[in-house]
Every structure is written in C-alpha cells, then in structure tokens.
Amino acid sequence: MPKQAKTETSEAPQGVDYAAYIKRMGTLPALLEEEPNARLQLAVDDVLAGEENGHDEKLMASLIATLKTTLAIHGSENHKAAVPQRVRTADPKRQAHYDALDAEMKQLVEDNMGLASVIVALGYGMRATKDKETGEPIPFTVERLLEGLNNKNHEANPYTPTTTNNKDAPTEVEG
C-alpha cells in the first residue's frame, strides 16, 4: 500500500472571539477577589490562560463549560449571580402561530357564548381544581374553558417550521 501524503493542519485559531468568552464569565473574576474560592479561581484562570495562549474555539467552549459546572457545584449564590445566564430567544414565527390559534379559538368562543356559558355552568370537560393557598375550589369560568381549549388546540396543531396560518394556503404541493 502506498503511503498517503500527510496534510498539515493549522493549530492557529480561526477568528476566535475571546471577548465573548471573557464576557460570559461576567463579574466573577472581580468577585473572587472579595469572596475567594480556589476551585472557581482555577477555572477562571484556565479561561484567561486560554485567551493568552490563543486556544481554539472548541477548547474555549470546553473551558467555559468547565467553569459553569464548577460554579454550579462549588459556587456560592453570590458567585452564581455574578455570571450572566444565557437566554434563548423565542421563535417569532412559532409565537405567531400559537397567537393565531388562540385568537381563532377566542373568536369561536365569543361567537358561541351561549354554548360556552352552558358548558361552563355544567363544568363539562373541565377539571375541578383547588386554590393551592386556601384549598377552596376554583370556580369554572369562560376564561378557564378558553385556556383549556387553547391548550388542547396547541397539542392538536403543533408548530412546525413549514406551518402556515393562512386558511387559503394550499395544503398540498402541486407538481
């Protein structure tokens, strides 16, 4: 078998945004001067050393993950509060889908308020629940009925990226 030629790989980082990794530590490095914690200090030092040594994206992400794990296990509440939590942004199309379903259901209930009132008076399809603080039963209302209908409607019509809220849109692809 002929030997395959070795290809050289570059260990140089390809545009790593070290400032973003430093920002993810929040005010933890400054807080560690006031409230020392040896394990957290080592994890913070590793991240800072990663910046100085020019580590790649994968290693920097691993160092931040290690810092977050160490923080969760060994950090005090002040330490945890010093590190900002990442928040996922909501999908606006998904929210629009469910808002449209809710608006449609609300209009349906409003158009048939007589029937909705009878359903509420009978408690049909509604689960009896009690207030957690007082233990008193929560009365059946049109709002509770609408909330239950919306939940069932969300389960029956889940959002998919190809979902459209246009009733006139074709349901099948031609061609």
**pLDDT tens digits, residue range 34-64?**
888 899 899 999 999 988 888 888 998 899 8
In a domain, 39, yes or no: yes
- Rounded to two decimals, the pTM is 0.45
Nearest one of 36, 37, 50 to 21, comparing CA atoms: 50
Say what the pLDDT of residue 153 is. Answer: 94
Interval 109-131 mean pLDDT:
88
Residues 75 and 101 in one domain: no
In a domain, 38, yes or no: yes
DSSP-based three-state secondary structure for 35: coil
Full domain range(s) for residue 112: 92-156
Q: Are 63 and 25 in contact (CB under 8 A)?
A: no
pLDDT tens digits, residue range 125-161?
A: 777 888 888 888 888 899 999 999 999 999 999 988 8
Say what the pLDDT of residue 151 is. Answer: 92
Where do we find the tokens 């020019």?
Answer: 54
Residues 44 and 23 in one domain: yes
What total of structural domains would you count in the chain? 2
- DSSP line for 54-65: T--HHHHHHHHH
Residue 113: pLDDT band with limits 50, 70, 90: very high
Residues 63 and 110 in one domain: no
In a domain, 116, yes or no: yes
Give the contacts of 85 (CB within 8 A, at least 6 positions apart).
Answer: none
> Whole-angstrom Cα distance, residue 175 to residue 172?
10
